[in-house]
Amino acid sequence: MHQDLINALTIIGAISPVGRLKIETKLRDLPQQEQLQIVALIKSADNLAYFWQGSWVQAARAWLLVRVVEWISLGSFVPPNDQTQMIGWVGQLRTMAETVVRQQLLELVTGRATLDALALAQCNLERQSWQPKVAFTEPLKHNDNKFCYLVHAMRPSTGLIAPTRDTLKMHEYTVKKLGRFIEKGSDGTLTLKSAELYLTTPSTIEAEMLSCSLICENRKKLYGNFSFGFILQAPSTNICIASPSDLAISNSQARAAVLAMQPTPLHRLVQVDAFLESLLGLYQQPLKSPSQILALSSPTGHNEVVVLGFAGKERVKIAGIFIKVTSKNMLWQSFVNDDAAHCLRGMILTCADMCGVPIVPIQDDNDKCPGSEIGFHEWLEGRKASLSPGSSPSIQATPSLSTAGSSSLVLGDTVSVYRDRDLIREYDMIAIRQDARMYLQQGMNPEQVHRRLHDQGGLPHKVVERVLESLGHRNYM
């Protein structure tokens, strides 16, 4: 490498080793002729200095080097034919003292300018239309005929690609970090139980760059026809970019597993720095409002919104859990199959209870996703279970082993059991408590909730009383 380039890199490295490594990596990929082109350009301002200002010359060359490496793309140096930008940079240097040159150099190579620009972009006027209270429906007030949600759909499991020599460290990190959520098949393949990861540790979303979608009463298509997921409450500052169609954006650049692949801490910092620059690029794209995105979305295709789980002090929260159903409130068969295979119901109920959020049925008659024989409320209350494909769903009632004695009801905090001569019926108290809490939050008083669950839901009085008592309501009748 040319000595003038090494000298400029030395100045940059004294300010930021990360900045030096980034620029040096780009320069080393260039043929010698193109490196000499850059040397000529960074010496363009030399004649502006007086003979005793050798240190100013070196600082100015470093300043110009940081600028011109922006013209390196895919291993080639491609400066613009028009010299206006270069002339402008030299013109700026004409009026700058050495202290100012070095201060600007500090801002350019430490990422401070990127962070400042990112903070500004996160608070621009376009993002105000994404304020949760302005743009989106409160899940507790769900209305099938009028709603708008920002959702993160999920699949029950995700296959992990077999590691190569280059990705072995990333693979080892993933297995170590998420070991309890990884299942090994008989053929040695690894599967991440992604739904279990998110539903049992919902705070995981805060560490992710989330691929989301907007849905409303007449735009419900999701990627892969996924049948369940989170309804999100995202601060407007966390909305990176949105499109009426798929963006096909990789969200893995600064994941811990990817950083584990880097050979040194310095290379990891370079990776993070590159992620911040690409993130700024997303934020600086024009951002349409949610209503505009939905209006431009195809009824047969999905839109995409990229959301940061955590941005400064602002965190994405779970506002609800959605499940796709038909217009007759019957669960999609694909969801029933997934539930049977992965035991989703228990995890969904526990997650909703833990987060204090409702489970919302989204009516969507989709030709590719036929309905099942299980109603949403039957499933939610545990009156019908998801059975494996090929089996017919049935009420959770089994013949009693004992035929003697009268009927009885045994109450419990998680399950209550009714027995008589002919059958045993179990009541899932967690699911019933979820329903009761939702009705209370919607404004019903305890007596109205009791009548709703008993008269319409067919639940025994004692079961409903036990549930409402657990929610702090006694002697309400």
Q: Give one DSSP letter per residue of 198-212, joined into a string.
A: HHH-GGGGGGSEEEE
Total number of residues shown for the chain: 477
Q: Are residues 129 and 243 in the same domain?
A: yes
In a domain, 188, yes or no: no
Between the ranges 48-52, 62-66, 205-209, where is the mean pLDDT highest? 62-66
What DSSP string runs through 9-48?
A: HHHHHHH-HHHHHHHHHHHHTS-HHHHHHHHHHHTTTGGG
In a domain, 176, yes or no: no
pLDDT on residue 75: 85
CA distances from 94 to 56, 152, 224, 413, 449 (A): 11, 52, 57, 77, 77
Distance CA 13, CA 24 (A): 10
Q: Give the mean model confidence (pLDDT) for residues 423-438.
A: 78
Q: Are residues 317 and 204 in the same domain?
A: yes
Element spanning 222, H or E: none
Q: How many beta carbons lie within 10 A of that of residue 377, not counting itself?
A: 16
Q: Are residues 139 and 94 in the same domain?
A: no
Of 51, 75, 110, the residue at which a domain comes to its end is 110
Q: Are residues 357 and 420 in the same domain?
A: no
pLDDT on residue 356: 92
**Boundaries of domain holding 54:** 3-110
Of 122-126, 332-336, 402-406, which range is least confident?
A: 402-406
pLDDT on residue 413: 66
> Quick check: 406 pLDDT over 90?
no
Q: Are residues 135 and 25 in the same domain?
A: no
Q: Are residues 129 and 268 in the same domain?
A: yes
Residue 77 vs residue 248, higher pLDDT? 77
Cα within 13 Å of Cα(261), Cβ side: 18
| Contact (Cβ atoms closer than 8 angstroms) between residue 106 and residue 64 | no
Work out the mean pLDDT of the chain and round it to a whole number: 83
Q: Are residues 359 and 422 in the same domain?
A: no
Of 321, 339, 363, the residue at which a domain comes to its end is 363
3-state class (DSSP) for residue 455: helix
pLDDT on residue 443: 84
Phi, psi of 457 (to 5 degrees): -90, -15
Q: How many beta carbons lie within 10 A of that of residue 1, not counting itself?
A: 13
Of the candidates 295, 378, 303, the residue with the CA atom closest to the CA atom of residue 336: 378
Domain count, the chain: 3
pLDDT on residue 393: 33
Residue 217 vs residue 398, higher pLDDT? 217
Q: Are residues 144 and 285 in the same domain?
A: yes
In a domain, 168, yes or no: no
| Contact (Cβ atoms closer than 8 angstroms) between residue 400 and residue 422 | yes
Q: Give the mean model confidence (pLDDT) for residues 167-185.
A: 76
Cα within 13 Å of Cα(190), Cβ side: 15
In a domain, 383, yes or no: no
> Quick check: 306 pLDDT over 50?
yes
Please measure the distance between the N-terminal and C-terminal CA atoms of the chain and give it in whole angstroms.
Answer: 86
What would the pLDDT profile of 262-301 be if each residue is shown by its tens digit? 555 555 555 556 666 777 788 888 999 999 999 999 988 8
The DSSP letter of residue 163 is: P
> Quick check: 171 pLDDT over 60?
yes
Q: Are residues 428 and 351 in the same domain?
A: no
In a domain, 166, yes or no: no
Distance CA 307, CA 310 (A): 9
In a domain, 71, yes or no: yes
Distance CA 376, CA 361 (A): 7
Distance CA 90, CA 393 (A): 76
400 band by pLDDT with thresholds 50, 70 and 90? very low
Q: Give the mean model confidence (pLDDT) for residues 114-118.
A: 78
- Cross-strand pairs, 410: 417
Residue 321 vs residue 167, higher pLDDT? 321
* CA dihedral angle for residue 211, residue 369, residue 379, residue 394, rounded to 10 degrees: -150
Of 318, 339, 363, the residue at which a domain comes to its end is 363
Q: Are residues 202 and 293 in the same domain?
A: yes
Between the ranges 268-282, 334-348, 451-465, where is the mean pLDDT highest? 334-348
β strands within 290-414, DSSP E: 304-308, 310-311, 314-315, 317-325, 330-332, 359-363, 371-375, 397-398, 408-410
* CB within 8 Å of 195: residues ≥ 6 apart: 154, 155, 156, 157, 228, 338, 342, 344, 347
317 band by pLDDT with thresholds 50, 70 and 90? very high
Q: Are residues 436 and 311 in the same domain?
A: no
* CA dihedral angle for residue 361, residue 363, residue 367, residue 373, rounded to 10 degrees: 60
Of 13-27, 234-248, 426-440, which range is least confident?
A: 426-440
In a domain, 172, yes or no: no
Which pTM was predicted? 0.65
Distance CA 282, CA 276 (A): 10
Percent of the chain past pLDDT 70, that is, above it, reads: 84
Q: Are residues 329 and 240 in the same domain?
A: yes
In a domain, 380, yes or no: no
